[in-house]
């Protein structure tokens, strides 16, 4: 994978011919791996350093894919909120600042209102090339729910970043189990 930020992969800019500079897309497994790596890095910064470190500016442009390392009031809950929004952006391909459905829905509100029955409506269209069912549906639903729990408006109600990393690893395991079954 070339040295680019996550933003370049999620929101490619058109070149002079009007086509996207990005000729490939991130798969579900790649997106999930990135999300797990970011959650693990935040868990380390928040809970395993002698003095907790708060990132304060977690967004796709700050996630460098050659390293997968991430560098109001400063708190760990702010990083967890940013991670939740980042996770939602990774799997929807939508910018969090863009109103959804012509209403004043934020990305988070749009996803919350759409789950569980309209998962296809919120995911990045690149990920919905086939019908979502079984383990794939379970995996993606779990991932978006982690994003929603991390981005809860009430800081004390947000999911712990360590729990988020564990939940994402479980979602990835569910996806792998389904993939193995389909090969047999």
Helix and strand numbers (H, E) in the chain are 7, 0
Write the Ramachandran bin of 181: left for phi over 0, alpha for psi from -120 to 50, otherwise beta: alpha
For residue 78, what pLDDT is reported? 84
The CATH number for 66's domain is: 1.10.510.10
Q: Which of 43, 119, 133, 105 is nearest to 79 (CA)?
A: 43
> Which residues make Cβ contacts (< 8 Å) with residue 168, sequence separation at least 6?
32, 35, 36, 39, 143, 146
For residue 116, what pLDDT is reported? 83
Domain-embedded: residue 1: no
Alpha-carbon gap, residue 7 to 89, rounded angstroms: 10
- Each residue's pLDDT tens digit in the chain (184 positions)? 445 788 888 888 776 445 555 556 788 888 998 899 899 989 999 999 888 888 888 888 887 665 633 334 567 888 899 999 999 999 998 888 776 656 667 889 889 988 888 888 889 888 876 666 778 889 999 999 999 999 998 889 999 999 999 999 999 998 887 666 555 4
Domain-embedded: residue 58: yes
For residue 17, what pLDDT is reported? 45
- 33 alpha-carbon distance from chain centroid: 10
CB 151 within 8 A of CB 159: no
Domain-embedded: residue 146: yes
Residue in the structure block whose two tokens are 């997106």: 31
Domain-embedded: residue 56: yes
Domain count for the chain: 1
Domain-embedded: residue 113: yes
What global pTM score does this model have?
0.73
φ/ψ (deg, to 5) at 20: -65, 140
φ/ψ (deg, to 5) at 35: -60, -40
Q: Is 16 helix (H, G, I), strand (E, B) or coil?
A: coil
Q: Domain containing 124: what range?
A: 6-183
Cα Rg of the chain (Å, integer): 16
For residue 103, what pLDDT is reported? 64
Domain-embedded: residue 75: yes
């Amino acid at each position: 994978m070339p040295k680019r930020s996550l933003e370049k992969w999620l929101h490619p800019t058109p070149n002079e011919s009007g086509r996207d500079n990005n000729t490939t897309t991130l798969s579900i497994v790649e997106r999930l791996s990135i999300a797990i790596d970011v959650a693990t890095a935040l868990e380390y910064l928040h809970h395993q350093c002698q003095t907790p470190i708060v990132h304060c500016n977690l967004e796709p442009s700050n996630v460098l894919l050659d390293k997968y390392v991430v560098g109001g009031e400063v708190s760990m809950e702010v990083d967890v909120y940013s991670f939740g929004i980042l996770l939602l952006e990774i799997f929807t391909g939508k910018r969090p600042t863009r109103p959804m459905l012509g209403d004043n829905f934020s990305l988070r509100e749009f996803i919350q209102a759409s789950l569980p029955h309209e998962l296809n409506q919120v995911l990045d269209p690149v990920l919905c090339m086939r019908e979502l069912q079984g383990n794939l549906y379970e995996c993606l639903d779990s991932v978006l729910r982690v994003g929603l729990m991390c981005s809860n408006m009430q800081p004390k109600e947000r999911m712990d970043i360590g729990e988020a990393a564990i939940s994402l690893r479980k979602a990835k395991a569910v996806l792998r189990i389904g993939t193995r079954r389909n090969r047999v």
